[in-house]
Chain A
């Protein structure tokens, strides 16, 4: 046969295959760049069974998409469900997911460990003895639901709404449970955010209104990371793969990290800055741009609120741009490379080199800060504020390769019901001392309760573990075991955790493949939605079966939260008299409960532009499409929304303030995307803000009070922080001038690449890879203290100490120590997770607590033969318990860095020993509370908080009014 004949034969064969809607060339392959099973074969995918090797045994799978429930990225997963056994055999990446694009980190595939974990909780449990005694009995869901519903209904009827609280870790969904709380009329949402990202969020919000960045790493020329984003950052996998793409193109990467993180090893510049000095370096870079006129003058002129700044702060100078530029030079001139070098303990030439690189980025500078330095230091919110200053100087805002506001790269479909936000204010979470707090003062709850500021009658912890995660865990134990302060504690969790031991009910919730959630994250300049679903339910649906309740397909009696909350709400208000039932009632079948199919079908059909049409093209409903593919890209490129012209129809009877803020009487057009937005105040005549005038044109601008990027925050200035109203450097609580003799900073905020806080200890693969957290220590410090790698050291904090192994390494700056918080899981009885939890003895004497390791991790018999193969005994040390609370007086963020003394362990010290005095913890709490500036003294309008700032549940405006002062509320 000739070559031409061969080619014809091939073409004919390919066309015949493709006419059937199938893929001709096999994957994985470099030929068509598909590394995944083609979609048309997802219903019946054949692979050889690895365990049968060397026999070639074929196994047939149905591939069902879901999303990962470990970190917040919610990367796409494909569950390989065995068609014969109807069991999930493995998880791989979902190529249809626009954020993760088929790629996953170790935590995604390890979901299978979590699903098959022999120690997971499979049935609802009720405590049998005293709280924390460790005795449990299995109860029915009906019993639990009736008990909870009665208790909550009674609280609502007695107007004790503020005694119901829902405390959530990373939610992994966009607002479902917040709407349930809103339906109950309860201002009881309590997030973990103030121990996580509030610091960074605050810095971003004061600039652009939105509280998160969305860096377009893939298209950047220069990537500046104040975090370890390549290995563990927020949206880590989606961002990491885009950073790598940029590097392959030749982009340069600058990493600020006191440790030599995996990310730092891949950087062109590793900046091992002294903890807390990051803003000084960033301001030195900014100063270089300013003094040398290397910034984007036109962008600054058009988009900064410089006129307002000049009028308010430099009223004696004409508010011209030329004068502003001169002022800018004056204000920042002290931030020289030498000053920053002195503060950061690095070479001034390095900072100069970084400044030169940043100056070349133009509008392709992507920057990112999350947790890290912003979460470590008092004033950490200035880290993100000074970082974004560089974007604002270069005009690298919502540009290709620049940094976007998150909300423009996020799509939250409007659901079937949106109950109004609760008509009340919960002082336990939003106290007057912190009027500008980004999120709830969650980690202060034990202290507030002990202050007598209130009590909690029903306290839900949802996949959250404050005893272990939060600082000052012993105070949490004290409160959780006091039934006068916490009436009923319900732990919603797939697996055991330290907080669940102190619960009244432990209710098994589903993992990634066992629950519904809908989410959208700002992974790049696009908008997408991802759909987490119970894969066995989806499989049964595909096979034509109907599943009404996810418990029918989940292991044991594991439930999903959506159905749980709907059922609980229904039972709280079975007759609809409380106004709750209306929000969990089917529209298709009135007087019956809303089902998850109807809930999601509504959102997909009505609120996701393009999805119904796309689904119809494949002969599917929108819900069927999402169940089949697990994700949908709503928009591919968003671009600079701020520069869009406001449509003429939106401009009715407009008002304009002297800085060009435009207000309109045109009603807000309904949007299918209900992504949370700040809400700048209307003008004096009640018009709503709509845009900003720039060079004569009315453009959309930013959702800030001024409508521009706020170099100068009138909010900070008005609420008592005028001294911090522009991007500035605040010396941290661990700055050398704040350390006593012999103290050094402890960095405790960093993650281990394969783990994710409290959530991944039940993944055996991950446990085998990482199961310890030694104290990083430079050889200089090790020599001074006289310890070598592996020897025990005692780390003394303000309120106690912990004993840990030293790891002597040049990968950390001298004079600083570091210990990851990702380890040190423990259990006090045999109940618990055995692969990464040691068994510990807990002892209390007055306010003095001790936790001592009794047994390490060891092999054990279970249904999984691998548990006999556990070879590690270590599970690390729990350090967070020895940290006092450090609420930042502005952002409310817990400032994690600790001033510690490190010395050789005493003879009687054992590895993992922890000792804390909670009375001392109370004293430190009071010290930090004294730093705050209460709304009572600083509110400009007798409100509790600026109305325009974001708040997860946002009561109507009248509830922002300050109440008359009561005891314990004012500083």
Chain B
């Protein structure tokens, strides 16, 4: 499981040795601190709780669920148990324990822990997340995301399907019922586990450029609200975005089916909610 440990390096601020390690993985090019900041600080924070939490924010129950996994193993959770680097390192550790376990009971327990962690805390969000990374990141990071996605798929295939839908996804709040509360609608679109969409600042910039309109600086919800309030034509664009995400989820490898089906259904619901709101507006 050397591979996951090495892949984890890329989710950390780059240092002298980062490129050496990535080169060993066949990832060429140079990663700068600016690349790292843009990708992981400004666009796609590498924390599971942002993509699995009911608020779409750092921490909260989603992080606690991951910390709970540590506790269940009798370990003290680190400060940021949902950081991608930690998650990958933990998985490498669990996989090594699985491979090294002796005796049927120990092997079964280690295998169960590995499989549960993979499906509950990795596959539940990483396919969508890595897809987005590939979309917007610089070449080395895109290559890293591609490699990690491939490795994940192989693990999923090797370990077999999950016993059920991950708790993170089962606990995801539904899209709000059709109504006239624009703020509620837009807020839900920015919560990945609820809407099936991952909307970054780069996407908002793209929306403003597409429509030739200025962007109000602020948090994402404020910016998106201002866009829609001043320019209702952004609403159909949002619908198209939601549908595009649905297609992406549906086209993912079938081995991920139970997970991607959830994400696709949420993207469908998001598109419908935007449509309903647009119709209500008329």
What is A's interface to B at a CB cutoff of 8 Å? 1, 3, 6-7, 9-11, 13-14, 25-26, 28-33, 46, 245, 248-249
Complex formed: what's the CA distance from A30 to B12 in Å?
8
B85 close to A (CB within 8 Å):
yes
Q: Are A31 and B151 in contact (CB under 8 A)?
A: no
Complex formed: what's the CA distance from A31 to B91 in Å?
11
**Beyond known contacts A3-B150, A6-B147: 14 more, CB 8 A cutoff:** A6-B24, A7-B2, A10-B3, A10-B25, A25-B5, A25-B6, A25-B9, A25-B17, A26-B16, A26-B21, A29-B9, A30-B12, A248-B77, A248-B79
Q: How far is the CB of B147 from chain A (nearest CB, A)?
A: 8
Q: How far is the CB of B145 from chain A (nearest CB, A)?
A: 15
Q: Given A10-B3, A13-B24, A26-B16, A31–B150 Cβ distance below 8 Å?
A: no
B265 close to A (CB within 8 Å):
no
Q: How far is the CB of B251 from chain A (nearest CB, A)?
A: 22
Contact with A10, one of B6, B16, B18, B83 (Cβ below 8 angstroms)? B6
| Chain A residues positioned under 8 Å from B5 (CB to CB) | 25, 31
Main secondary structure of the interface of B (DSSP, over half): helix
Contact with B9, one of A9, A26, A33 (Cβ below 8 angstroms)? A26
| Chain A residues positioned under 8 Å from B76 (CB to CB) | 245, 248-249
Q: How far is the CB of B130 from chain A (nearest CB, A)?
A: 15
B86 close to A (CB within 8 Å):
yes
B8 close to A (CB within 8 Å):
yes
| Chain B residues positioned under 8 Å from A14 (CB to CB) | 2
The residues in B between 28 and 79 inclusive whose CB is less than 8 angstroms from any CB of A are 76-79
Q: Are B9 and A31 in contact (CB under 8 A)?
A: yes
Q: Are A26 and B15 in contact (CB under 8 A)?
A: yes
B173 close to A (CB within 8 Å):
no
Q: How far is the CB of A25 from chain B (nearest CB, A)?
A: 7
Q: Given A3-B150, A10-B3, A30–B85 Cβ distance below 8 Å?
A: yes
The residues in B between 89 and 121 inclusive whose CB is less than 8 angstroms from any CB of A are 89
Complex formed: what's the CA distance from A30 to B150 in Å?
23
Q: Given A3-B150, A25-B9, A248-B76, A11–B2 Cβ distance below 8 Å?
A: yes
Q: Which residue of B lies closest to A27 (CB)?
A: B15
Most A CB within 10 A of own CB, among B80, B89, B147: B89
Complex formed: what's the CA distance from A14 to B21 in Å?
10
Complex formed: what's the CA distance from A13 to B22 in Å?
12
Could you list 12 examples of A-B contacts with CB < 8 Å? Answer: A3-B154, A6-B3, A6-B147, A7-B3, A10-B3, A10-B25, A25-B17, A26-B21, A30-B12, A30-B78, A30-B86, A46-B16
| Chain B residues positioned under 8 Å from A26 (CB to CB) | 9, 15-18, 21
B26 close to A (CB within 8 Å):
yes
Q: Are A6 and B17 in contact (CB under 8 A)?
A: no
| Chain A residues positioned under 8 Å from B9 (CB to CB) | 25-26, 29, 31
Complex formed: what's the CA distance from A33 to B89 in Å?
10
Q: Give the size category of B's interface with A.
A: 20 to 34
Q: Are A31 and B85 in contact (CB under 8 A)?
A: yes
Q: Are A29 and B3 in contact (CB under 8 A)?
A: no
Q: Shortest 3 CB-CB distances between A and B: which pairs?
A: A26-B17, A10-B2, A30-B85
Q: Given A3-B154, A14-B2, A46-B16, A29–B25 Cβ distance below 8 Å?
A: no
The residues in B between 165 and 183 inclusive whose CB is less than 8 angstroms from any CB of A are none
| Chain A residues positioned under 8 Å from B80 (CB to CB) | 30
Q: Are A31 and B89 in contact (CB under 8 A)?
A: yes
Q: Which residue of B lies closest to A245 (CB)?
A: B76
Q: How far is the CB of B152 from chain A (nearest CB, A)?
A: 11
Q: How far is the CB of B8 from chain A (nearest CB, A)?
A: 5
Q: Which residue of A lies closest to B153 (CB)?
A: A3
| Chain B residues positioned under 8 Å from A11 (CB to CB) | 2
Most A CB within 10 A of own CB, among B12, B76, B83: B12
Q: Which residue of A lies closest to B154 (CB)?
A: A3
| Chain A residues positioned under 8 Å from B88 (CB to CB) | 31
| Chain B residues positioned under 8 Å from A29 (CB to CB) | 9, 12, 85
| Chain A residues positioned under 8 Å from B26 (CB to CB) | 1, 6
Q: Which residue of B lies closest to A30 (CB)?
A: B85
| Chain A residues positioned under 8 Å from B24 (CB to CB) | 6, 9-10, 13
Complex formed: what's the CA distance from A459 to B25 in Å?
68
Q: How far is the CB of B112 from chain A (nearest CB, A)?
A: 23
| Chain A residues positioned under 8 Å from B77 (CB to CB) | 248
| Chain A residues positioned under 8 Å from B83 (CB to CB) | 30
Q: How far is the CB of B82 from chain A (nearest CB, A)?
A: 11
Most B CB within 10 A of own CB, among A1, A3, A25, A31: A31
Complex formed: what's the CA distance from A10 to B25 in Å?
7
| Chain A residues positioned under 8 Å from B86 (CB to CB) | 30
Complex formed: what's the CA distance from A6 to B23 in Å?
11
| Chain A residues positioned under 8 Å from B85 (CB to CB) | 29-31
Q: Are B89 and A32 in contact (CB under 8 A)?
A: yes
Complex formed: what's the CA distance from A14 to B8 in Å?
15
Complex formed: what's the CA distance from A46 to B17 in Å?
12
Q: Which residue of A lies closest to B8 (CB)?
A: A31
Q: How far is the CB of B239 from chain A (nearest CB, A)?
A: 38
Q: Which residue of A lies closest to B3 (CB)?
A: A7
Complex formed: what's the CA distance from A11 to B1 in Å?
9
Q: Which residue of B lies closest to A29 (CB)?
A: B12
| Chain B residues positioned under 8 Å from A46 (CB to CB) | 16
Contact with A30, one of B2, B3, B6, B8 (Cβ below 8 angstroms)? B8
Q: Which residue of B lies closest to A23 (CB)?
A: B17
Q: How far is the CB of A22 from chain B (nearest CB, A)?
A: 11
| Chain B residues positioned under 8 Å from A9 (CB to CB) | 24
| Chain A residues positioned under 8 Å from B18 (CB to CB) | 26
| Chain A residues positioned under 8 Å from B3 (CB to CB) | 3, 6-7, 10
Complex formed: what's the CA distance from A128 to B188 in Å?
78
Complex formed: what's the CA distance from A33 to B80 in Å?
12
Complex formed: what's the CA distance from A480 to B15 in Å?
57
Complex formed: what's the CA distance from A6 to B8 in Å?
15
Q: Which residue of A lies closest to B11 (CB)?
A: A30
| Chain B residues positioned under 8 Å from A33 (CB to CB) | 78
